[in-house]
Amino acid sequence: MHRDIAPGITQIATTRRDNAFLIAGDDGFTLVDVGWASAPATLLTAVADLGRKLSDIRRVVLTHAHPDHVQGAAELRDLTGAQILIHPADHPWLKAGRVPREGRSGSVGRLLDRLPKLRWTPFTADATVTDGDPIDDSDGLRVIHTPGHTPGHIALLHEPTHTALLGDAVFHRGSLTLGPAALAAAPALRPAALTALPPDLRTIAFAHGSPLTGARAEDFHLFLERLQRNSGDARSQR
Ligand SMILES: [Zn+2]
Ligand SMILES: [Zn+2]
């Protein structure tokens, strides 16, 4: 299942709960996130539906090193020859093939990481990207570092269409939330990290949940305002 959410941006459901994104550039596609081990096969079908071939995926940007985003990445690189990019703070996790103990603030998260199905084949990225970096000359993407969910979590801003691909910085399953604190590395950092997003976003897309487009983009701006107000209140009560 895939659909265009803005000019040049296709959202692909790699499972019923997980999304990856294809961004068109001059030399082919940039893929934002991969998904579980089953994702490469789903991505292959979606790219074929678009009349393109898998090797048209030239690079893969990982929003962070959690298994539901990176487990299929090593296989996808074998199939496509794509370059894999990640923030340096999450790169050691990629190379370890698992989330380390300090990667989850709560015991529930640490217990989950002991399950073999939440591991992945360790691999090394081709390059790292940090706040403000463009991904490629032609795909229009820029990195916004949004730490908290993981230390190296990044959002991608598609400047030509004022679209933000938020990864797991915000979840949109039914309602907008920051997600479970126990699964985040440093949950308290999350509200402030989102202030780096530009105020004029027209489309907001999520790794988990449906995108907000058109008039519904306003829902996201109201969510951010509420978040900043609440985190301000929490600070003043300390
Ligand atoms: Zn995550
Ligand atoms: Zn996720």
Helix intervals (H) in 63-145: 67-70, 73-80, 91-96, 107-112
Q: What is the largest CA-CA distance in the chain?
A: 56
The confidence score (pLDDT) of residue 137 equals 85
Half-sphere exposure of 110 (CA within 13 A, CB side): 9
* DSSP at 134: B
The confidence score (pLDDT) of residue 93 equals 98
**CA of 149, nearest ligand number:** 1
What are 14's two structure tokens? Answer: 């790699």
For the chain, what are the domain ranges? Answer: 2-237
Please give the distance, rounded to the nearest whole angstrom, from the Cα atom of residue 227 to the centre of ligand 2: 20
Per-residue model confidence as pLDDT tens for the chain (238 residues): 899 999 999 999 999 999 999 999 999 999 999 999 999 999 999 999 999 998 999 999 999 999 999 999 999 999 999 999 999 999 999 999 999 999 999 999 999 999 999 999 999 999 999 999 999 988 999 999 999 999 999 999 999 999 999 999 999 998 999 999 999 999 999 999 999 999 999 999 999 999 999 999 999 999 999 999 988 776 665 5
Our measurement of the distance from residue 180's CA atom to the centroid of its chain's CA atoms, rounded to an integer in Å, reads 16
Backbone phi and psi for residue 132, each to the nearest 5 degrees, phi listed first? 90, -10
Neighbours of 210 (CB within 10 A): 15
The confidence score (pLDDT) of residue 236 equals 61
The confidence score (pLDDT) of residue 231 equals 81
Give CA–CA dist 195/177, Å, rounded: 15
Domain at 2-237, CATH from 3.60.15.10, 3.20.20.140, 3.60.21.10, 3.30.420.40: 3.60.15.10
Please give the distance, rounded to the nearest whole angstrom, from the Cα atom of residue 91 to the centre of ligand 1: 14
Q: Three-class SS of residue 25?
A: strand
The beta strands (E) that lie in the chain are given as 2-6, 9-13, 19-25, 28-32, 57-61, 83-86, 127-128, 141-145, 154-158, 163-165, 171-173, 175-177, 203-205
Please give the distance, rounded to the nearest whole angstrom, from the Cα atom of residue 73 to the centre of ligand 1: 15
**CA of 90, nearest ligand number:** 1
For 18-57, write each residue's pLDDT tens digit.
Answer: 999 999 999 999 999 999 999 999 999 999 999 999 899 9
Please give the distance, rounded to the nearest whole angstrom, from the Cα atom of residue 210 to the centre of ligand 1: 16
Give CA–CA dist 88/153, Å, rounded: 10
Q: Three-class SS of residue 168?
A: coil
Q: Which residues surround ligand 1, an ion (CB under 5 A)?
A: 66, 168
